[in-house]
A and B are shown apart, each in its own frame.
Chain A
């Protein structure tokens, strides 16, 4: 029996390790791409570790960029510095004929279609055949190098074109917008829902339960149903294109948070309130002095949930925000992608990583609250 347990524990452990590799790989791919030079993002076979290459030229080592990640025969390199900067070199064995063309001795390796393509392009344009250097493989050295400067460049690129420059739009503006929406939303969520939940949880009044049932029922209204009229409301108030529609509603309660806080408030012993009432405390004082201090766990959970929601929200900003200087980080990221297409993957991944980082940090700091919050909301319908 004991041995059987030991075996099955091994199996479980193994399965967990396998699953966690599958869950972590996308993150690893994100970080890896964000630290690569552009040519290493679009080269085969795939690599995870960004590298830097140098070629040994006349006793000097010159930095080169490679189309091909492994210093393999058939790769093309470009000198990045030195007197030959910009010149191309071919890694492998070849011979230069009298007319200057490169004849490859070694058959062209898979993935080096660009070699022939570059030669053909040069000839097709009537130009002279490229006078490439032929570099034996042994002259190419490589080492691990992370391109940390992708990050400041990606953030600078996020703002976009010259038109954006005129309005001084950029990463810091988007970050500020995201923070405004998230922080004002968090404050509004905690403040309004705590007061409202107190009314439902700790006071007895006629119609309370019916009203609460109605409140719960509003949770099932899908956002698309509200979308069109809400747009109309904010349009008539002249608020389209401002951040207000994204955080103002949080100051007027939400069914989910009312429910969450009410459940918690009800677990606080009624005797505490009764004693305070006998002492002549007003309900507001009881709420503020007794209930709020005892309820920090649930207030933290509501704050965390709303921060994540506001930070991650895409549809709201997409509908309400019109000018680029009001974009949140999420919307700016999408707009950068749609304008630049799928070319600069290293920048796109760096900007995505920066967008992800705050929520991951917040989660790591407060993971206990998170896990507890989710476990309770998911199991008490």
Chain B
């Protein structure tokens, strides 16, 4: 290494020194410690005791683990596609030249920055079976067919769909991203397609879709990763909708026992930190696989070299 290179390395390390500390203390150490704990019996009060694969073996036979996984996949499987479709639909509407575009964009985006605790309270009230807004709107319509709205969060078969509906209210973030993607589609492509006599559907299918597909795929995978970690809404709403139950029971009938909730209660209520770490690592592997897919989808488009 020449003197010049040494000096450059020195200033590079100096500028990134805060991050070197941060990376080690707040990411690298926890990632490694977590892996170690996942092979241990650990209660934070006493030093971890090595127990090999026991936590993982126990997980395979843990009914609640599978239940929480199924609940999470059910939620993600509904909320991600519906949210993506809705965000894309709204973005396409906003991409038309209509009056008040920026006003509508503002309206659709706003719910996505509402603090999750506050929006959980709001939707708890909206989904109230007796006096809530949802049934207040639905009941007159359903009443025509002799039906009435469900108890939503208090009903095990409707609690997850209720959370999905709530998540749709917050799709404004993805909508803004898709709208930016749509606005990047070159205008002359549409003009050329129109001259060639392409219908609106053909223009969408052959011009719009290919251009924004990678953005949509990337964001859908990111939404999937987010959905896998669903916590606050479910924690607050399951506790509240079912009276005096414990927040992390996943009431009613464990229908809202999501993966992160089970993990949280294992770690901080049962104080089984080792078992929780094993769960966390399984989540990590799934997330890593999904991220790798997202990265592959975008690599072809993103030119990262200077």
Q: Is the A/B pair a real complex?
A: yes
Contact of B15 among A45, A251, A283, A375 (CB under 8 A): A283
Interface SS majority for chain A: helix
Chain B residue, CB-CB nearest to A332: B117
Q: Tell me whether B231 and A229 are in contact (CB under 8 A).
A: no
Q: Tell me whether A228 and B122 are in contact (CB under 8 A).
A: no
Complex-state Cα separation, A42 to B22, whole angstroms: 51
Contact of B240 among A235, A308, A311, A337 (CB under 8 A): A337
Q: Tell me whether A222 and B133 are in contact (CB under 8 A).
A: no
Q: Tell me whether A16 and B94 are in contact (CB under 8 A).
A: yes
Q: What mask results when residues 40 to 80 of chain A are scored 1 for a CB within 8 Å of chain B, else 0?
A: 01111110000000000000000000000000000000000
Q: What mask results when residues 159 to 188 of chain B are scored 1 for a CB within 8 Å of chain A, else 0?
A: 000000000010001101101110010000
Does A204 count as interface, using CB distance less than 8 angstroms?
A: yes
Does B157 count as interface, using CB distance less than 8 angstroms?
A: no
Contacts of A220 on B, CB cut-off 8 Å? 225, 287-288, 291
- What's the minimum C-beta distance from A330 to chain B, rounded to whole angstroms? 4
Does B268 count as interface, using CB distance less than 8 angstroms?
A: yes
Q: What mask results when residues 116 to 149 of chain B are scored 1 for a CB within 8 Å of chain A, else 0?
A: 1110111111101011010010000000000000
Stretch at the interface among B55-63, B67-75, B101-109, B201-209: B101-109
Complex-state Cα separation, A251 to B174, whole angstroms: 29
- How many chain B residues touch A (Cβ–Cβ < 8 Å)? 106
Chain B residue, CB-CB nearest to A380: B302
Complex-state Cα separation, A86 to B240, whole angstroms: 32
Chain A residue, CB-CB nearest to B229: A222
Does A25 count as interface, using CB distance less than 8 angstroms?
A: yes
- How many chain A residues touch B (Cβ–Cβ < 8 Å)? 99
Q: Tell me whether A356 and B115 are in contact (CB under 8 A).
A: yes
Q: Tell me whether A283 and B11 are in contact (CB under 8 A).
A: yes
Chain A residue, CB-CB nearest to B33: A229
Contacts of A218 on B, CB cut-off 8 Å? 23, 27
Does A195 count as interface, using CB distance less than 8 angstroms?
A: yes
Q: What mask results when residues 4 to 18 of chain B are scored 1 for a CB within 8 Å of chain A, else 0?
A: 010011011111101
User: Known: A252-B22, A345-B125, A378-B176. Contact between A205 and B133, CB under 8 A?
Assistant: no
Most buried by B among A206, A222, A235: A222
Q: Tell me whether B30 and A251 are in contact (CB under 8 A).
A: no
- What's the minimum C-beta distance from A45 to chain B, rounded to whole angstroms? 7
Chain B residue, CB-CB nearest to A232: B44
Rank and list the top 6 A-B pairs by shortest CB-CB distance, nearest first: A252-B22, A199-B15, A378-B177, A205-B12, A375-B180, A381-B298
